[in-house]
């Protein structure tokens, strides 16, 4: 391994917060959260999701921050420094694989968002109806050339930002544009509150019907928590390594988790208000966002302007989250393999585009690779499933076990309290207990469930 050059870092706690929030608040909130909640019954699923955030998401996020800032290294180098045993390197491998698998399908979805900006400028959503927006989504994902072109554009934009570096690229983009995204989401919600379906949306999101909850839904809730908070793939380890020594890691994790959840709920209210107002089905699937938001904005004054702004900023959210995943690979290749930043970015951009095209062209009926099924899933769904339900939980479990059972507790207390400057002793004790005894149980149960092992055991017992 070649010796790494002097590393960049974030300039302040505010920059660290916006960067990590930019990683968490992405298409997971705006695209994936609404349709997964819609597919799994609403409020009951949401409650399980919130429990997963508290007992799984937050402890793992704090642990990843700790691993990153303590070592000031990429995910592989960080794990190797914290444990002399080679077996723990699997955490770094899983993190890198997770980043790849997510980006293979995420780049395609980000391309859909980018393409909608262009469609709005062309006037494709003038006089939009439920039928016309459904057709627009089909046209966007069918291919074979248009979705691939937009996917490549997304990868190119992210690559340019990453080549600029941590401060001039990542920090500048997230610190400037994340607040604007939040403002646009609020504007969308204000309009949604005036729609006739708003009451039904609140009922769907906040009145739990546990008969709608399935074991599959519980698994998806955990996977969604990991996906939305960018856990288990090395992003928070990498960003944590750029934190300053003054940053409050507990405070940053709590603010990111709370902000991320609020954004998800606000987007959910807007989307489901439109769904019920226009007699659409909540379980529409991955195209839910693309078939509801145009309907919301086209019903208000200056709707085209607001619709354009929303998808521009949704593009920004997709970009900031994509940046955080891509940076995992860049940090690894520059520090562990001795590559230049530019070479690492270009190499991985080519890999992501070459494999991601198979996912992009497997979504719509009639697409080039739509007929290819692996374990009964299309390529897009397979990449999503492997990352969200297998790799991310495994990566999180490994990190939790490493910090909870290998790293001395006193070292954790010292780092999380900023060498005693923060009075967080009781918080550290609570966090450490949950991380050591609660989080692993949740993760093991859900991981076994994702493989079907738990269901077989239960069946044998009964």
In DSSP notation, 435-453 reads: IIIIHHHHHHHHHHHHTTH
Contact 362, 379 (CB under 8 A): yes
Banded pLDDT at 300 (limits 50, 70, 90): low
Helices (H) and strands (E) in the chain, counts: 23, 0
Q: Where are the alpha helices (DSSP H) in 72-171?
A: 75-82, 90-122, 130-142, 146-163
The span from the CA of 229 to the CA of 261, in Å, is 10
Residue in the structure block whose two tokens are 């900006």: 117
Structure confidence at residue 408 (pLDDT): 93
What dihedral do alpha carbons 326, 330, 336, 340 form, nearest 10°?
Answer: 170
CA 445 to chain centre: 22
The answer to whether residue 63 scores a pLDDT higher than 80 is yes
CA atoms within 13 A of residue 175's CA, in its CB half-sphere: 14
Banded pLDDT at 7 (limits 50, 70, 90): low
Q: What confidence tens digit (pLDDT) does each residue in 219-240 have?
A: 778 767 777 787 888 899 998 9
More confident call, 14 vs 250: 250
Q: List, in order, residues 6 or more apart from 392 with CB less than 8 Å away.
A: 98, 223, 226, 227, 231, 232, 233
H helix or E strand, kind and range, residue 412 = helix 409-416
Contact 347, 222 (CB under 8 A): no
**pLDDT (mean) for 77-100:** 91
What is the fold, at CATH topology level, of the domain defined by 13-461?
Amino acid/polyamine transporter I (1.20.1740)
More confident call, 118 vs 301: 118
Residue in the structure block whose two tokens are 């045993």: 85
H helix or E strand, kind and range, residue 423 = none
The span from the CA of 92 to the CA of 109, in Å, is 26
For residue 452 the two structure tokens come to: 């079907």
**pLDDT (mean) for 7-31:** 74
Q: What confidence tens digit (pLDDT) does each residue in 151-168 have?
A: 999 999 999 989 987 777
How much of the chain exceeds pLDDT 90, in percent? 34
Contact 34, 271 (CB under 8 A): yes
> If we measure between CA atoms, which residue out of 447, 341, 430 comes closest to residue 393?
447
176, with CB counted inside 10 A (0-12, 13-18, 19+), is exposed
Residue in the structure block whose two tokens are 């145009």: 294
Q: What confidence tens digit (pLDDT) does each residue in 402-446 have?
A: 999 999 999 999 999 999 899 999 999 999 999 999 999 888 877
Q: Where are the alpha helices (DSSP H) in 278-378?
A: 288-297, 303-336, 341-360
- Kindly list the domain boundaries of the chain, sorted by start residue: 13-461
Contact 101, 269 (CB under 8 A): no
For residue 100 the two structure tokens come to: 């790849």
Q: What confidence tens digit (pLDDT) does each residue in 174-223 have?
A: 777 777 777 878 887 887 788 788 888 888 888 877 777 777 777 778 76
Contact 406, 88 (CB under 8 A): yes
């Amino acid at each position: 391994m070649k010796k790494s050059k002097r590393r960049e870092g974030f300039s302040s706690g505010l920059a660290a917060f916006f960067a990590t929030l930019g990683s968490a608040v992405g298409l997971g909130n705006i695209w994936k959260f609404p349709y997964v909640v819609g597919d799994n019954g609403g409020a009951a699923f949401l409650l399980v999701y919130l429990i997963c955030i508290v007992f799984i998401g937050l402890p793992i996020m704090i642990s990843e921050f700790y691993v990153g800032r303590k070592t000031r290294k990429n995910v592989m180098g960080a794990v190797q420094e914290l444990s002399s045993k080679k077996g723990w390197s699997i955490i770094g491998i899983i993190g890198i694989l997770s980043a790849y698998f997510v980006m293979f399908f995420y780049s395609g979805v980000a391309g859909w968002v980018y393409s909608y900006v262009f469609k709005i400028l062309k006037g494709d959503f003038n006089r939009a109806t439920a039928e016309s927006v459904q057709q627009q989504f089909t046209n966007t994902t069918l291919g074979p050339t248009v979705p691939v072109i937009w996917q490549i554009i997304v990868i190119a934009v992210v690559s340019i930002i990453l080549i600029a570096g941590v401060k001039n690229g990542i920090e500048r983009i997230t610190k400037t544009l994340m607040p604007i995204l939040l403002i646009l989401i609020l504007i969308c919600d204000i309009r949604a509150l005036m729609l006739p379906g708003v009451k039904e949306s609140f009922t769907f999101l906040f009145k739990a019907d546990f008969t709608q909850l399935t074991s599959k839904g519980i698994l998806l809730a955990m996977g969604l928590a990991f996906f939305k908070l960018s856990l288990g793939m090395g992003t928070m380890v990498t960003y944590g390594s750029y934190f300053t020594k003054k940053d409050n890691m507990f405070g940053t994790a709590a603010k990111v988790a709370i902000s991320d959840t609020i954004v998800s709920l606000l987007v959910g209210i807007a989307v489901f208000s439109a769904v019920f107002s226009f007699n659409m089905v909540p379980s529409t699937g991955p195209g839910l966002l693309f078939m509801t938001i145009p309907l919301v904005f086209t019903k208000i004054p200056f709707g085209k302007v607001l619709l354009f702004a929303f998808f521009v900023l949704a593009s920004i959210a997709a970009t900031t989250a994509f940046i955080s995943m891509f940076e995992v690979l860049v940090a690894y290749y520059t520090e562990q393999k001795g590559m230049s930043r530019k070479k690492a970015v270009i190499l991985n951009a080519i890999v992501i585009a070459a494999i991601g095209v198979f996912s992009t062209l497997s979504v719509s009926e009639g697409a080039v690779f739509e007929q290819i099924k692996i374990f009964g899933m299309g390529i897009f769904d397979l990449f999503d499933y492997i990352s969200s339900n297998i790799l991310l939980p495994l990566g999180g479990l490994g990190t939790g076990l490493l910090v909870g059972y290998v790293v001395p507790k006193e070292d954790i207390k010292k780092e999380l309290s900023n060498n005693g400057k923060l009075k967080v002793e009781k918080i550290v004790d609570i966090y450490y207990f949950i991380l050591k005894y609660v989080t692993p149980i949740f993760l093991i149960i859900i991981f076994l469930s994702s493989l079907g092992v738990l269901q077989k055991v239960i069946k044998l017992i009964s």
